[in-house]
């Protein structure tokens, strides 16, 4: 009986594969059937990530693609396993958002040896040989860090120092944590009023953001003027910690974070968050274009960046209905 079922399943699979290939004129034109894409996502750590996953899944649901989606739960080892499994399955294109920057050379060499092009999305990698990936699509995280600091410089105009800053970093070793920290420092380093008194990772989650902020408050008492959080979710967690400590987020402690998710706009509207720097997660359509081009062997730019802005409390109410994430 088990054998019969097995054969039936196999037959179904063959028929289905035939159908999806035959249905798709564009895919067929590109060289027989849909483009099989193996996509390895970081995890589900933030509002940003949820919106990003939705965008990628929607864009790659088009019949010209056949998506194999894998969630790494913020662990590099899971991602490496997923990439190896995509290579073993001989997918046409691999796309992934690398949880951290380093440690990819070996698995990317394996993909290259198997002739499978790799498109990096959202987070960049640090590899010795750039030919190990075809292209990267994502934000300029250094610029986002600069923008957060520029907002702070503007908001501190005419204020005497010192301005004591605590920083909630993203995932240790990730491109957005490394780069946002770098861009922020670059701007405040020129003004000796600004001092980063504590800096620790909250792993991009609300829960860790709250916990680490609690520790900051315990250590520094009322001597914190500003919180810089590498993403909105950690800022939202920290807001809770600040309120529980009997302080007013947004005034006793001014807060700037990054992403521009709906929750941040709501917090700004309530006066609890001062500013958010936009980081657009809706990369799906551009990612789909790049995958199509890379698969067709067309030349693509090595780096594609996304247009983004900065929003403050004053703009929050008017902007809220326009937010796509
Ligand atoms: O800012 C954060 C998410 O890689 C840009 O990852 C992304 C970051 C984003 O967890 O919220």
Instruction: Return the best residue to mutate from 43, 47, 48 for the ligand 1 pocket (most ligand atoms within 8 A of CB).
Output: 48
pLDDT of 138 strictly over 50: yes
Q: Are residues 223 and 297 in the same domain?
A: no
Rounded to whole angstroms, how far apart are CA atoms 65 and 84?
20
* Count of structural domains, the chain: 2
Count CB atoms within 10 A of the CB of residue 167: 22
Do 257 and 170 meet the contact criterion of CB atoms below 8 Å apart?
no
Q: Give tens-digit pLDDT for 149-175.
A: 999 999 999 988 899 999 999 999 999
What is the length of the chain? 325
- Whether 58 is in a domain gets the answer yes
Q: Is 151 in the pocket of ligand 1 (CB under 6 A)?
A: no
Is 291 found in the same domain as 251?
no
Ligand 1 pocket, residue 231 CB under 6 Å:
yes
Residue 201 has pLDDT above 70, yes or no: yes
Nearest-atom number in ligand 1 for the CA of 205 is 10
8: in domain: no
pLDDT digits (tens, 9 = 90+) for 12-47: 333 333 333 333 334 433 445 899 999 999 999 999
pLDDT of 10: 38
Together in a domain, 150 and 134? no
Whether 325 maps to a domain, the answer reads no
Structural domain includes residue 18: no
Strand partners, 229: 168
Q: Is residue 1 in some structural domain?
A: no
Burial of 172 (C-beta count, 10 Å sphere; 0-12/13-18/19+): exposed
Q: Which residues of 181-191 are buried (b: 16+ CB within 10 A; e: fewer)?
A: bebbbebbeee
Nearest CA owner, ligand 1 atom 8: 176
Residue 236, domain member (yes or no):
yes
| String of DSSP letters for 129-182 | -GGGSSEEEE--HHHHHHHHHHHHHHHTTT--S-EEEEEEE-STT-HHHHHHHH
242 and 161 in a single domain? The answer is: yes
Q: In this structure, are 65 and 149 located in the same domain?
A: no
- Cα(314)–Cα(83) distance, rounded to whole angstroms? 44
Residues 123, 87 within the same domain: yes
Substitution candidate for ligand 1 out of 96, 123, 175, 259 with most atoms within 8 A of CB: 259
27 contacts 34 by C-beta, under 8 angstroms: yes
For residue 12 the two structure tokens come to 């179904």
Contacts of 303 (CB under 8 A, 6+ apart): 135, 136, 137
pTM (2 d.p.): 0.88
* 237 and 109 housed in the same domain: no
pLDDT at 219 over 80: yes
Residue 6's pLDDT is: 40
Q: Is position 219 within any domain?
A: yes
Report the separation in Å between the CA atom of 170 and the middle of ligand 1, taken as the mean of its atom positions: 8
Mean pLDDT of the chain: 91
Q: Are residues 180 and 273 in the same domain?
A: yes
Return the pLDDT at 285: 93
CATH number of the domain enclosing 176: 3.40.50.2300
Whether residue 270 sits in one domain with residue 148: yes
Say which residues have a Cβ less than 8 Å from residue 139's Cβ, sequence separation at least 6.
Answer: 122, 279, 280, 305, 306, 308
Domain that holds residue 78: 35-139+281-307
**151 and 249 assigned to the same domain:** yes
User: pLDDT digit string (tens) for 74-89?
Assistant: 999 999 999 999 999 9
Q: Domain check: are 201 and 273 in the same one?
A: yes
Residue 253: inside a domain, yes or no?
yes
The residue among 177, 274, 179 whose CA lies nearest residue 235 is 274
Same domain, 76 and 162: no
Q: What pLDDT, in 10s, does the model give residues 274-288?
A: 999 999 999 999 999
């Amino acid at each position: 009986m088990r054998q019969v079922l097995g054969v039936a399943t196999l037959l179904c699979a063959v028929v289905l594969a035939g159908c999806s290939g035959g249905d798709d004129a564009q895919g067929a034109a590109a060289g027989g059937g849909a483009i099989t894409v193996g996509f390895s996502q970081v995890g589900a750590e933030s509002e940003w990530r949820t919106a990003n996953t939705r965008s990628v899944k929607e864009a790659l649901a088009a019949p010209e693609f056949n998506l194999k989606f894998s969630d790494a739960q913020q662990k590099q080892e899971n991602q490496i396993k997923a990439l190896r499994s995509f290579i073993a399955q001989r997918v046409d294109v691999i796309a992934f958002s690398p949880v951290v920057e380093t440690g990819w050379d070996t698995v990317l060499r394996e993909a290259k040896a198997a002739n499978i092009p790799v498109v990096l999305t959202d987070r960049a990698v640090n590899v010795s040989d750039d030919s190990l990936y075809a292209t990267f699509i994502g934000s300029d995280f250094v610029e986002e860090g600069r923008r957060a600091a520029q907002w702070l410089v503007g908001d501190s105009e005419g204020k005497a120092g010192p301005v004591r800053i605590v920083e909630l970093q993203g995932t240790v070793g990730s491109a957005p944590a490394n780069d946002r920290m770098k861009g922020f420092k670059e701007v405040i380093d020129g003004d000796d009023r600004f001092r980063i008194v504590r800096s620790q990772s909250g792993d991009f989650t609300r829960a860790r953001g709250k916990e680490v902020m609690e520790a900051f408050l315990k250590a520094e008492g009322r001597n914190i003027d500003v919180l810089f959080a590498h993403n909105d979710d950690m800022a939202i967690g920290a807001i809770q910690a600040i309120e529980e400590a009997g302080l007013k987020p947004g005034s006793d402690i001014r807060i700037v974070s990054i992403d521009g998710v709906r929750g941040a706009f709501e917090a700004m509207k309530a006066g609890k968050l001062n500013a958010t720097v936009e980081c657009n997660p809706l990369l799906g359509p551009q990612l789909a274009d790049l995958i199509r081009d890379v698969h067709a062997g067309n030349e693509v730019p090595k780096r594609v960046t996304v247009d983004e802005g900065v929003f403050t409390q004053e703009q929050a109410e008017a902007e809220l209905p326009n937010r796509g994430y």
